[in-house]
Structure 1
């Protein structure tokens, strides 16, 4: 498998009730010529901005471009984050995203009205129910 590197910028989740470990990510879309800063899309402004200059920025992560194999329902399973003390909070996953080297549980979806836009795949589009 030919794997290429990609980069992700991580930010503290801006919602007021976000926990200490609640983070969101954005793909790095390029690098600023003048100083090499990682650039991400500012959807509200409709332009590319330096990730490190945005509120809540925490880090840039190098991520191997993994092959997505599919998504399976999460019904009947419970997941817990590792390292959250003796009794970590359990979640009922909505689904599991299956990659060639790992599986990622999806434990929540954006609340109604809390998601602006849409998610796309080559064959499917998921829209927020209005």
Structure 2
């Protein structure tokens, strides 16, 4: 698990695709002079991103990062309004994703792109008997 407080990415022009396309590469570390270092897979070592052909910039990724995962136990979700709000069954929670300032219940595995689906609907959290 990534324990960095924030992730950074180096961006490069992607000449293989189009001049307008950009290639995003995860910053692995920083050197003593504060320069971003990325993994050069061909050389098998970390290199300074700015020294690579096509370098554009380094940006901070502001997406919240998961800090831990807790089992769902026998917790369930049910909609506060609508037909399922009257049902005592609810949807089983398989896990809780723990972020810096909040926890998100998970009711199904992520999609093929690796992103967790979220909803704007409001739910009640309850324990089943």
Aligning the two structures, in what range does the TM-score lie when normalised by the shorter sequence? Answer: 0.3 to 0.5
TM normalised by structure 2 equals 0.48
TM-score, L = length of structure 1: 0.47
| Higher Rg of the two aligned structures | 2
RCO higher in structure (CA 8 A, sep ≥6):
2
